[in-house]
Structure 1
Amino acid sequence: MIENRNEFLSKIAKQLGRPQPTSRPERNFSFSPQHQVLANATQEELVDALVEQCKNIHTKAITTTTADLVATLKQVVTDYKATSVITSTDQRFADFGVLPLITEHWPQQEVATHQWQERCGQDNITFAERADVGIMVSEMTLAESGTAVLFSDKDKGRSISFLPQNSIILIPKSTIVPRMTQAATTISAMIERGEQVASCVNFITGPSNSADIEMILVVGVHGPIKMAYIIIEDQ
């Protein structure tokens, strides 16, 4: 039950200097501007848009090749002065040739590593809480906003990207899309095909930050203080 509706609308119309509407406006959804943003961009242009947006979200963007990925990842972890690293258990680490770095090289360099696994239970979260760096692989990344899309599952805990002090997200170049519109369409198509979709889908746009208090931006309020995107030339 809506009370005083006409009086309320009359006041708004008066303040706007407009006559009060007497009928509902026609709904026209034929215009879909959300599909036009970066619609004709090449993959290279999407990379450029993503790198540019990273400047606005306090995120370091690094482009590399599959061949140079191990060296690039080593350097970023070294720059963070990390002594502990947690990663998801993701087949793509092996595909990109990064697995020996995680399981052999870093432990030999006195960098403690842990791969999130269901059987480890609470130990996964305990390690993540103390880790200097968390590393995940993005499923999709939105060029317009600089948002990485992460699917959580039993071997890809969401704590990996939330609890460590620093976060590194590997971004296959081929998975960069223009904006949220394409990500939502992709996820909807997966559901329609009957594919398994993560019960938790995280959209992460740079390190955590807030400007709630006096509009003063504070980075690292409730998550990673620093974030790096490593964009991998995988095409």
Structure 2
Amino acid sequence: MKGTIQNRDKFLSKITGRLGREKMPAETERPKWSVNPQDAVLKGADSDELLEVLKAQCKNIHTDIVVTDKSELVNAVKKIVSDYGGGPIVSWKDSRFDKYGLSPLFKQLWPEDNVEFHEWDSSRGEENIKFAEQANVGITISDITLAESGTVVLFSSKDKGRTVSFLPAKSVIIIPKSSLVPRMTQAARIIREKVKKGDHIASCINFITGPSNSADIEMNLVVGVHGPFKAAYIVVEDL
């Protein structure tokens, strides 16, 4: 249910009157700039070129990256999780895990291997957060991926808790190759188009660039202060 703003027009009219301005127009025309440098970066780059940019950027943001296809995705996830110390593991409840063949790993193989696994369940309330706090690895999926900065964009929902990406000690993020775009410019446009079409937009959209990083005034980098201290991107060839 959308909220309402009480007496909005009356309030704005009063402000514009005090400022000696004319009444606010109902709509503001978007300016058309003669130069758009934001579109020039990686202009025309295809998905393979964007992937190479992402791989190079991952070195700068201290992030492991693996490129695989759907047939080897389960093995890639198992290896990364094993390299990161195993469970407990928490993941989103996301239909894309079924699409990529990961559900058997989450719901069958890991329990059989005595790896503690928890899938986010909105009906379990605070229990989800408590498990995420104790988890060693959190697994999510990128909705949009910015090649230039190595940033993943995560749309939260009742089944995709935002704490899955920042409470566990390590973060594993599945990146569909089709989600790659050059930079923030394109991500903002995608989100704006969703709004214009009336699509449901997540109440929380997280832009995450590798593991948690913080630097003091002397630029001494400390990793893991306010989130995962290790992060891995697993790019899935889905084009």
State which drifts further: 110-119 or 27-36: 27-36
> What is the identity, as a one-letter code, of the residue corresponding to 1:200?
C
Report if the CA contact (8 A) 1:136-1:160 is conserved: yes
- Return the offset for 1:214: 2.6
| Aligned equivalent of 2:161 | 157
Residue pairs, 1:42-53, within 5 angstroms: 42-53=46-57
For 2:206, the equivalent position in structure 1 comes to: 202
Conserved? CA contact 1:83–1:110, under 8 Å? no
Q: Which amino acid counterpart does residue 164 of structure 2 have in structure 1?
A: I
Q: Give SS of 2:71's match.
A: coil
TM-superposed CA distance for 1:50, in Å, is 0.4
Give me the identity figure in percent. Answer: 54
Larger radius of gyration: 1
Instruction: Give me the CA root mean square deviation.
Output: 1.1
Give the deviation of 1:29 after TM superposition: 2.9
Give the superposition deviation at 1:160. 0.1
Question: Does residue 194 of structure 2 align to residue 190 of structure 1?
Answer: yes
**TM-score of the two chains, using structure 1 as the length reference:** 0.87
Equivalences, count: 209
Say whether 1:231 aligns with 2:221. no
Instruction: Kindly indicate whether the alpha-carbon contact (under 8 Å) linking 1:190 and 1:196 is maintained by their aligned counterparts in 2.
Output: yes
Q: Give the counterpart letter for 1:56 in structure 2.
A: N
1:122 is the counterpart of 2:115: no
Q: Hey, what's the Cα distance between the residues in 2 that align with 1:148 and 1:173?
A: 12
Which of 94, 101, 108 in structure 2 is aligned with 1:104?
108
Tell whether 2:33 aligns with 1:29: yes
Alignment-derived partner of residue 72 in structure 1: 76
- SS of aligned partner of 2:60: coil
Q: How does 1:213-232 map to 2 (within 5 A)?
A: 213-232=217-236
Tell me, which stretches of 5 or more residues in structure 1 are unaligned? Answer: 1-26
Residue identity matched to 1:145: S
Q: CA deviation at 1:108?
A: 1.1
Gap runs ≥5 in structure 2: 1-30
| TM-score, normalised relative to structure 2 | 0.86
Runs of 4+ that moved beyond 4 A: none
| 1:139–1:148 Cα contact (<8 Å) kept | yes
